[in-house]
Structure 1
Amino acid sequence: MRPRLLAALAAVLLFAGAARAAEPALPPAPARWVFDETGFLSPAARATLDGELEAFERAQGSQVLVAIFRQLPAGVTLEEWTQRVAESWRVGRARQDDGVVLFIFLADRLVRIEVGYGLEGALPDLRASRILREVLLPGLRTGDHDGAVLATARAIVAAIRGEYEPGPGAERHGDGVPLWLLLLLAIVVLWVLTAAARRGGGPGAGASGWPGGFPPGRIGGGGFSGGGFSGGGFSGGGGSFGGGGASGRW
C-alpha cells in the first residue's frame, strides 16, 4: 500500500512540476514607466509619456505604467496574465497598493487597465471601462496610436487625482448616479419631510445624524501622498493587485 501511495504522490508532483514548467515566463520589470517591445509608439510620444508618468510618481507617489506587448502568451487569459505581471513588477507602493498598468496586446487587439487594491476607489471598474471605451479604443481604431495612449494615461492620472471628467453620455454609461435620478430622489425626500411636518412629527434621525441614519454618499478617490521615488528609473514598490480594472478589444 505504501509503495502505491508513494507512486501516486510522485505522479502528482511530476504533473505539478510539468504544469509549472509549461507556464509562460513572466517578463522582467521594465526600467522605465513605458515599456514598448514593438515600437508601437513613436520615440517622441514614448519619451513624452515616460516623462509625464515619472513626474507624476515624483509628485503623487502612485505608479502608473504603460506596457505594450506583441501578443498575449498562449494558454493564459487576459485578466490572469495582466494581474500576474503587475504583481511580479510590484507596481505601486507596499501597503498602499497604488499602482496601475495599462496593457496593450497588439496581435490580439486586447487592452486592459489593471488597478491596484488601493486605487479601486479612485479608479473603479466602471470608470476604467469608460476610459477604455471613450479614450483608448476609438483612437486605436482610427490609427492614432500616440494620441490614444497618451490621452488614456493622462485620463488614468486624472482619475487618481480625482480630476477625471467623463465625456458625453456619462448619464447612460457612467459609474455615478444620473442627474435625473438625484432630482427625483430629492423631490421624494422633500415630499416625505413635508408630509411628516404636517402631521406634527418628523422623520427620526439615525445614529449618523442624517434622516434615516444614512449619510450622503461620497464620490471620488483622493487621499494620496507623495514620496516613494528614488530616481534613476522605474522601481516597483511592492504593490498588490486583486483583479480590479477593465478590459477591451478594438
Structure 2
Amino acid sequence: MKKRQWIWTLIFGLWTTGLLSQKVYTVETVPDPKAAGGGWVADPDKYIPDADEARLNALISALEDSTTVQIAVVVLGSIGEENPKEFAVKLFEKWKIGQADKDNGLLILSVMDQRRTEFETGYGLEGVLPDVVCYRIGMQELVPYFKLGEYGKGLIAAVQKIKTILENPEAASEVKSFYDGGARSPIPGVPVPLFWYGLVNLIFHLIIAVWVLLTLWNKEDLYDKYQSVRKVYGWWWGIPFPIPYFIVMWGLKRLLTRLRNAPRYSKETGQLLRKLSEEEEDRFLESGQIVEEEIGSVDYDVWVSEDESELLILRYAPRFSKYRRCPQCGFITYFLARTETIERATRYSTGRRRKEYQCKNCGYTHEVFETIPRIQSSRGGGGFSGGGGGSSWGGGSSGGGGAGVSW
C-alpha cells in the first residue's frame, strides 16, 4: 500500500513539475519570426511539425505576393492568466502586422493551456473577414484538427481557407453557414431551427436597411454617401444569408451606380458639372493618376463646368489590389515584379531569395532579400519550404475585429 502511494506521489510530482516548468510568455518575450529568418510562424514550444510550419510559411508568402496581406501564426504553451484576446491585440500592435497604408494584417494566436485560438484582424480586413467569417473558419477548419492534437494541419486548413477567400472573394460562399446543420456545423447534429434563422435574417437586413437610409439622409455629399454605402456592399453577405443575397446586392449595386453618376453641382458657384468620358478626363489627370487607371489600381471620375473653370476629381479604389503606394512618387502603382531564388535551401543550409518591387509610374525599384528556411525532412513525405515577407512586418494596425474559438 505504501509503495503504491509512493508511486502516485511520484507521478503527481512529475506532473506538477512539468506544469510549473512550462514557460509563460508575455508580449515582450514572444519570439518574432521576422527577426529569426523572415518567416511567419512563431512556435517556440514546437507544437507544429517542421513540415507543417514550412507549409504555413509557403502559403502565407504566396498570399502576401498576390494580395499584400500579412498573416502571423503564433502558438504558445501559456500566457499565464492573461486574456488571449487582449494578448492578441497587444502582440498585433507590437509587431504591426500588415501594410501600413492598408492595415491588412491578421494574427492567429493559439494558447495551448487555455485551449483557445484568436483571429485578430487589421482594419483593412474587417470587411472581407468579419467576425462571423473568422469564427466559422475557426470552428470548421481549425477546431476539428486541434481536437485530434494535429495543430499544424488545423492551422494549415484555416490559412488555406483564408487565402482562398482573400484571393477569390466569390469563394466565400463556399464557407458553410452555421445555420445549415451540416456535418461541419459547430454543434454537430443540432441544426438551428428555421424560425430563428429567418428571424435573425430579417433583423439583420432591417438593420442594414436602416443604416443605409440614415446614411443617405444624414450625409449631403454624394461622394460621401457612395463611400459609406459601399462599406456594406460585399460578397460576405452571401455566407449567412444566401437567399436574399442576390436581391440585396442587385439593389445596392444600382444605388451605388446612381450615386456615382448623379448630377453634381459646383459648391462655389452652383454651376451644373458635366462628367467626362474616360478619353476626355485624361487631360485633367496627372500622369501618375492615368497610370493608376490603366493598371486598375484606382479609377477616377472627372466633373467639369461648361467653361471648365470648375473641376471635381473623385477617386474610387477597389477593395483589393496587388498594387500599393509607391514610396517614391506616392501613386498606387508599386508592385512585386519578380521573385528569384538566388540560393536554394537544403536540409543542411538555408537559402536566399530576392524580391524586386517596381513602380509602373516613376520606375522606382527596390530589392528585398529574404532567407529561405532549411528544408525539413519528414518521414511522411516532402513538405513545403519558404520563409517570406522580409525581415520586418509592414507597419499595420489592429482593428480590434476577429473572433476566438475554443477546442
Pick from 146, 166, 175: which aligns with 1:140? 146
Question: What's the Cα RMSD here?
Answer: 3.3
Unaligned runs of at least 5 residues, structure 2: 1-24, 181-196, 202-235, 263-317, 324-334, 337-356, 358-366, 371-389
Once residues 184 and 121 of structure 1 are traced to their aligned partners in structure 2, the CA distance between those partners, rounded to angstroms, is 20
Distance 1:234 1:139, change over 3 A: farther
> Is the Cα contact below 8 Å between 1:171 and 1:179 reproduced in 2?
no
Once residues 113 and 146 of structure 1 are traced to their aligned partners in structure 2, the CA distance between those partners, rounded to angstroms, is 16
Once residues 166 and 45 of structure 2 are traced to their aligned partners in structure 1, the CA distance between those partners, rounded to angstroms, is 28
Aligned to 1:153: 159
Alignment of 1:1-250 (within 5 A): 24-26=26-28, 27-31=30-34, 32-74=39-81, 76-161=82-167, 162=169, 163-169=171-177, 172=180, 176-177=237-238, 178-181=241-244, 209=258, 222-225=320-323, 226-227=335-336, 230-232=368-370, 233-250=390-407
AA aligned to 2:144 is P
User: Which structure exhibits the higher relative contact order, with contacts defined as CA atoms closer than 8 Å and separated by 6 or more residues?
Assistant: 1
For each residue in 1:121-174, what CA deviation from the matched residue of structure 2 results, as whole angstroms up to 9, or x when unmatched? Answer: 111111111101111111111233222110101112222222434344455589
Distance 1:117 1:207, change over 3 A: closer
> Is the Cα contact below 8 Å between 1:122 and 1:222 reproduced in 2?
no
Aligned to 2:329: none
Once residues 89 and 243 of structure 2 are traced to their aligned partners in structure 1, the CA distance between those partners, rounded to angstroms, is 37
CA shift, 1:96, in A, is 0.7
CA shift, 1:25, in A, is 4.6
Q: Percent identity?
A: 24
AA aligned to 2:127 is G
Give secondary structure in 2 for the equivalent of 1:164.
helix
Once residues 56 and 393 of structure 2 are traced to their aligned partners in structure 1, the CA distance between those partners, rounded to angstroms, is 18
Larger radius of gyration, structure 1 or 2? 2
Distance 1:169 1:28, change over 3 A: closer
> Is the Cα contact below 8 Å between 1:97 and 1:239 reproduced in 2?
yes
Give secondary structure in 2 for the equivalent of 1:230.
strand
For each residue in 1:160-191, what CA deviation from the matched residue of structure 2 results, as whole angstroms up to 9, or x when unmatched? Answer: 222434344455589635234458989xx9xx
Range moving further from structure 2, 53-62 or 165-174: 165-174
Range moving further from structure 2, 236-245 or 57-66: 57-66
Alignment coverage as a number of residue pairs: 202
> Is the Cα contact below 8 Å between 2:27 and 2:90 reproduced in 1?
no
Aligned to 1:217: none
For each residue in 1:208-247, what CA deviation from the matched residue of structure 2 results, as whole angstroms up to 9, or x when unmatched? Answer: 649xx9xxxxxx9534535478342441111001211000
AA aligned to 2:242 is L
Once residues 100 and 182 of structure 1 are traced to their aligned partners in structure 2, the CA distance between those partners, rounded to angstroms, is 27
Once residues 207 and 82 of structure 1 are traced to their aligned partners in structure 2, the CA distance between those partners, rounded to angstroms, is 36
Distance 1:44 1:95, change over 3 A: same
AA aligned to 2:119 is I
Once residues 107 and 244 of structure 2 are traced to their aligned partners in structure 1, the CA distance between those partners, rounded to angstroms, is 34
> Is the Cα contact below 8 Å between 1:91 and 1:100 reproduced in 2?
yes
> Is the Cα contact below 8 Å between 2:97 and 2:394 reproduced in 1?
yes
AA aligned to 1:241 is S
Range moving further from structure 2, 141-150 or 229-238: 229-238
Once residues 89 and 166 of structure 1 are traced to their aligned partners in structure 2, the CA distance between those partners, rounded to angstroms, is 32
> Is the Cα contact below 8 Å between 1:125 and 1:245 reproduced in 2?
yes
Distance 1:88 1:24, change over 3 A: same
Distance 1:148 1:234, change over 3 A: farther
Unaligned runs of at least 5 residues, structure 1: 1-22, 190-204, 214-219
